[in-house]
Amino acid sequence: MSSFTLDDIRAAVNAGAMTEAQATKLITIAQSRQSVRDFLPEEDEPFEFFKGFSEIFVTVGLGLLFAGVLAITVVLGSGAIVPFAGMALCWVFAMYFTARRRMSLPSIALAAGFGIFLAFGVALTIGPETEAAGIAVGLIGMAAMALYYRVFKLPFSMFVLGVFGLIFVFSVINHFTHTVPSIFFLTSDLFDLGNGTYLAYGSLVFGIAAFLAGLYFDLRDPHRISRFSASGFWLHILAAPALVNTIAMSLFNVGGTVGYSLTALALLLVTIVALVIDRRSFLTAGIGYVGVLILYALQNSTNEETSFVATLLILGVFITALGTWWVQIRASLMRALPDFPLKDRLPPYTSANPE
């Protein structure tokens, strides 16, 4: 009889054959018996966008079906009911493709569609030109996606909920200050804390909130075998650019050696945080700034063309090396760090020096 893998345990949890708590206990026992914690063969963050071409096929079919049904709705009724009809369709189809079949890509498409239709429906009901429309869309959207998550247990729901949270934050800022411009006129300076823009502070607050929410899910599933870890993944996807871009841009805009040095220090701290919580998304958000800093350092000693090529090579080596030895680097860092609250609830790492 072949041995079970983490994928088998995840499938058992999704199928309802065991609870997430039972799965966590089972994997802990298995790792203790087989010394898996010391070698960590499972090096990557579990992420599944689709399971096969059949899911792509179903998703395309759902898109065509939605287009046809909504077109009929417009012909027979009023365009105003289209968002609510779309929400109803998304919910009904999710009861089958998400709750019963657990298909990844169709479920993601249905959750995204539900959120989009909800946003348009709320905006049309309140009036898109009303100042409070964005606030209402954000609040109702977060509540609706929280319910969606509770019913269908779909991790991607947290991403849509986070987007509604971002809409809420920026809408509140715009409602009281009228300083949030159209998305077509957003510039990097607006996310500079040094300029004192409310948009920058809003982005920072949202990033912190999304990070803490993602960390909450991570701590509930340190072995990353259930929907909690996947939910945390989607929240970190939102938190990383909001935090890293705001902080790095603010320091980078200081300019000169001081600004670039502070940016480098901030990126080093971001790397440490990414390693500690075992999430590569934070480091990914700062790769562009790392490249700019390397280019700046090289331009003082080489010509522009050589600097660009050297930057690509150095950045490529850095990312490849970090990706290849992520587990070993993280294990060394975690062993070097003193004990701190919740350290034992983070993803496992090598507890002793390997032979």
The model scores a pTM over 0.75: yes
CA–CA–CA angle 336, 339, 341 (5° rounding): 135
pLDDT band at 340 (very low <50, low <70, confident <90, very high): confident
Query: Residue 13 is encoded by which pair of tokens?
Result: 């949890």
Q: What value does the mean pLDDT of the chain take? A: 80
Does 113 have pLDDT greater than 90?
yes
pLDDT of residue 134: 87
pLDDT of residue 40: 42
91 to 111, 307, 343: CA distances (angstroms): 8, 53, 39
pLDDT band at 184 (very low <50, low <70, confident <90, very high): very low
Query: Residue 219 is encoded by which pair of tokens?
Result: 């701590």
Does 256 have pLDDT greater than 70?
yes
- Angle at which helices 82-97 and 104-126 cross, to 10°: 160
pLDDT of residue 154: 93
pLDDT of residue 97: 92
| Domain assignments of the chain as residue spans, ordered by start | 50-180, 181-285+325-355
The amino acid that residue 271 corresponds to is T
Does 42 have pLDDT greater than 70?
no
How crowded is residue 222: how many other Cβ atoms within 10 Å of its Cβ? 19
Residue where the block lists tokens 């969606």: 148
40 vs 259: which has the higher pLDDT: 259
The 10s digit of each residue's pLDDT in 168-179 is 998 888 877 766
Determine the 3-state secondary structure of 302 from DSSP: coil
Does 39 have pLDDT greater than 70?
no
pLDDT band at 102 (very low <50, low <70, confident <90, very high): confident
104 vs 35: which has the higher pLDDT: 104
CA–CA–CA angle 350, 227, 95 (5° rounding): 165
pLDDT band at 216 (very low <50, low <70, confident <90, very high): very high
pLDDT of residue 251: 84
* C-alpha neighbours within 13 Å on the C-beta side of residue 191: 20
pLDDT of residue 37: 42
pLDDT of residue 353: 43
Helices of type H across 178-303: 198-220, 227-252, 256-277, 281-285, 287-299
Residue where the block lists tokens 């019913």: 151
DSSP 157-207: HHHHHHHHHHHHHHHHHHHHH-----GGG--GGGG-GGGT-HHHHHHHHHH
Does 260 have pLDDT greater than 60?
yes
Query: Residue 101 is encoded by which pair of tokens?
Result: 């079949």
State how far the Cα of 293 lies from the Cα of 262, in Å rounded to an integer. 11
* C-alpha neighbours within 13 Å on the C-beta side of residue 128: 5
| Closest to 238 (Cα-Cα) out of 219, 264, 213 | 213
Query: Residue 250 is encoded by which pair of tokens?
Result: 């603010």
| Closest to 353 (Cα-Cα) out of 338, 335, 339 | 335
Average pLDDT over residues 27-40: 53
| Closest to 63 (Cα-Cα) out of 108, 98, 5 | 108
pLDDT of residue 3: 62
Average pLDDT over residues 11-33: 70
Does 158 have pLDDT greater than 90?
yes
Does 247 have pLDDT greater than 90?
no
- Angle at which helices 6-15 and 20-34 cross, to 10°: 170
State how far the Cα of 51 lies from the Cα of 62, in Å rounded to an integer. 17
**Residue 177: CB partners within 8 Å, gap ≥ 6?**
198
State how far the Cα of 259 lies from the Cα of 253, in Å rounded to an integer. 7
Report how far apart the first and last C-alpha atoms of the chain are (Å, whole number). Answer: 30
Determine the 3-state secondary structure of 76 from DSSP: helix
Asked if 289 and 252 count as a contact pair (C-beta separation under 8 A), the reply is yes
Does 27 have pLDDT greater than 60?
yes
